[in-house]
Amino acid sequence: QVRLVETGGGSVQAGGSLRLSCAASGFSYENYYMGWFRQAPGKEREGVAFIFASSITEYAGSVKGRFAISQVSPRNTLSLQMNSLKPEDSGMYYCAVTPRLERWSWRLDPKKYNYWGQGTQVTVSS
């Protein structure tokens, strides 16, 4: 049974940093895509960062160069280091995993992910 538990959210001023963690269990990371997603009020959920096989990563354009995703095995801990935070980074952040997808282009598509954590709130004030 897949289980995902996020921690590390909070409030920070613009320009600050936060580190999110996701304790993941119940699956084999070698065969799963893992990602961080976020959702702001009134907006659709969007992909933020993706990782596969501990080293293959991808980022949304809006966070590239500021966020860093990492994964530590065998405990399957997924982390997201967020630097130079902006007010527009505010929202509920979720970690999610799914078995390897049929199409590489789906890796940041939240609709393609099967398992989700409960989310952790990030608030960035100006």
Q: What percent of the chain has pLDDT over 90?
A: 83
Given a contact cutoff of 8 angstroms between Cβ atoms, the answer to whether 5 and 64 are in contact is no
Could you tell me which residues are beta bridge partners of residue 67? Answer: 82
> Which of the residue ranges 5-14, 56-65, 96-105, 108-117 would you say has the lowest mean pLDDT?
96-105
80-99: pLDDT as tens digits: 999 999 999 999 999 999 99
pLDDT at 46 over 90: yes
Report the share of the chain in percent with pLDDT over 70. Answer: 98
Nearest CA to 94 among 1, 22, 43, 26? 22
